[in-house]
Amino acid sequence: MSRILTGIQSTGTPHLGNILGAIIPAIKMANGSQNESYLFIADMHSITQIKDPKELKFNTYSTAACWLAFGLDYSKTVFYRQSDVPQVTELSWYLNCYFPYQRLTLAHSFKDKADSLEDVNAGLFTYPMLMAADILLYDADIVPVGKDQLQHIEITRNVAGRFNNLNGNTLIIPESKINESTMLINGTDGNKMSKSKNNVINIFLEETLLKKQISGIKTDSLPLEASKDWKNCNLFNMYKLLADENQIEIMKKNYEQGGYGYGHAKNDMLNLILTRYSVEREKYTYYMNNLDEIDSILKNGAELASKTANTVLNRVRLKVGFN
Ligand code: ADP
Ligand code: TRP
């Protein structure tokens, strides 16, 4: 049996792109897997960017509520908050001392962030060491990640290899597994949906706010009576992702025959989201109104995670020369 582990950055409420591209497939995999799975919210990584404690907390809760609303089975997956198992920072320190400074300066993600962010702190620089500790602390075998995280997994393998070479086999060298999501969800402006681009659909919003987001979906400006081209319409493409065959056929006909404006299509899109995700919206709202329940689920996960963490950390301390 392998141990699969991955971390989720908690930089905001997950949007439709995150949900369709990453969350639903990951939950299917975790719930159906015979392997052990660990899933955590990387809130210690988030503080490299987010300095407002309220925002940080909210993001953790809304990310957890979203995963729970979409059916993550927390009796099968060890689901926890990174900061609830602070042993990770101790391991991260050891790893820092076993990895050359020069190699960290070559990390793409640091260079990208250093170019675009104002707050270029040391945490951002040593981010890959904390991520390596996230993985190595739990003896993970397989780490599913997006392509942009591959270099971090290579760094993790490298630092674990260096530690093992000096001290004898101590850390498990993990393999990455690329999330080849075939889905690329476009946002309201027709470009890839992304938190940073202000083009997201947040399916959990209260109805009037959701309506506002949907009304921002860009279309051409053909009048109501005109026949419209569904093949090249961003709004239609988004609708198609969520609708069933029958609904898609009806929408195509409406576009072609005219007398159906983009306002109507947006209204149909709103109703589709409200009905298709009514259960998830309800569950999300339930969890966001019962944060103590989220806390208790995550604390439970952290207790289980801590057991593994302590075993591995003791192994490492001994090799370092402590204990
Ligand atoms: P964002 O670009 O909004 O900051 P992240 O980089 O945090 O999103 O992505 C988290 C996960 O969601 C990743 O696995 C990523 O592949 C997936 N994802 C993000 N945006 C999309 C999208 N527009 N379509 C499909 N999947 C997406
Ligand atoms: N850095 C990852 C991201 O931005 C999140 C993450 C933190 C992670 N620690 C991890 C992913 C450990 C996998 C394993 O998406």
Whether 160 contacts 136, CB under 8 Å: yes
> Does 171 sit in the ligand 1 pocket, CB within 6 Å?
no
> Does 49 sit in the ligand 1 pocket, CB within 6 Å?
no
pTM of the model: 0.94
Equal CATH topology for 3-185+291-320 and 204-276: no
> Does 149 sit in the ligand 2 pocket, CB within 6 Å?
yes
Check residue 196 and give its pLDDT: 85
Ligand 2 centroid – CA 254 distance (Å): 44
Check residue 29 and give its pLDDT: 85
> Does 202 sit in the ligand 1 pocket, CB within 6 Å?
no
Nearest to 138 by CA among 295, 316, 8: 316
> Does 159 sit in the ligand 2 pocket, CB within 6 Å?
no
Residue identifier of the C-alpha nearest atom 4 of ligand 2: 9
Ligand 1 centroid – CA 13 distance (Å): 12
Check residue 181 and give its pLDDT: 65
Q: What is the dihedral of CA 307, 309, 310, 315, to 10 degrees?
A: 130
Ligand 1 nearest-atom number relative to CA 14: 3
Q: Is the dihedral angle over the CA atoms 129, 92, 141, 99 positive or is it negative?
A: positive
What are the tens digits of pLDDT across the range 82-130?
999 999 999 999 999 999 999 999 999 999 889 989 999 999 999 999 9
User: What Å distances lie between residue 301 and 38, 48, 76, 287, CA to CA?
Assistant: 9, 24, 10, 17
Ligand 2 centroid – CA 267 distance (Å): 37
Ligand 2 centroid – CA 10 distance (Å): 10
- 80 membership: H or E segment, kind and range: strand 77-81
> Does 24 sit in the ligand 2 pocket, CB within 6 Å?
no
- Could you tell me the residue ranges of all domains in the chain? 3-185+291-320, 204-276
Please give the backbone phi and psi of residue 41, each rounded to the nearest 5 degrees, phi first: -95, 120
> Does 155 sit in the ligand 2 pocket, CB within 6 Å?
no
Check residue 44 and give its pLDDT: 97
Ligand 1 centroid – CA 201 distance (Å): 13
How far, in Å, CA of 112 to CA of 3, rounded?
A: 31
CATH 1.10.240.10 fits 204-276, yes or no: yes
Ligand 1 nearest-atom number relative to CA 8: 10
Nearest to 248 by CA among 261, 262, 265, 263: 265
Whether 119 contacts 125, CB under 8 Å: no
What letter represents residue 144's amino acid? P
> Does 179 sit in the ligand 1 pocket, CB within 6 Å?
yes
> Does 130 sit in the ligand 2 pocket, CB within 6 Å?
no
Ligand nearest to the CA of 16: 1
> Does 146 sit in the ligand 1 pocket, CB within 6 Å?
yes
How far, in Å, CA of 189 to CA of 101, rounded?
A: 41
CATH of domain 3-185+291-320: 3.40.50.620
> Does 185 sit in the ligand 1 pocket, CB within 6 Å?
yes
Ligand 2 centroid – CA 134 distance (Å): 8
Q: What is the pLDDT along the chain (323 residues), one digit of tens a residue?
A: 899 999 999 889 999 999 998 899 889 888 888 999 999 999 999 999 999 999 999 999 999 999 999 999 999 999 999 999 999 999 999 999 999 999 999 999 999 889 989 999 999 999 999 999 999 999 999 999 988 899 999 999 999 999 999 999 999 999 999 877 667 899 999 999 998 899 999 999 999 999 999 999 999 999 999 999 999 999 999 999 999 999 999 999 999 999 999 999 999 999 999 999 999 999 999 999 999 999 999 999 999 999 999 999 999 999 999 97
What SS3 state is found at 201? Answer: coil
Q: What is the dihedral of CA 244, 204, 181, 230, to 10 degrees?
A: 40
Ligand 2 centroid – CA 6 distance (Å): 6
Residue identifier of the C-alpha nearest atom 1 of ligand 1: 194
User: What Å distances lie between residue 26 and 31, 70, 294, CA to CA?
Assistant: 9, 10, 19
CA 130 from centroid of its chain's CA atoms: 17
Q: What is the DSSP letter of 60?
A: H
Ligand 1 centroid – CA 186 distance (Å): 11
How far, in Å, CA of 315 to CA of 91, rounded?
A: 11
What are the tens digits of pLDDT across the range 251-288?
999 999 999 999 999 999 999 999 999 999 999 999 99
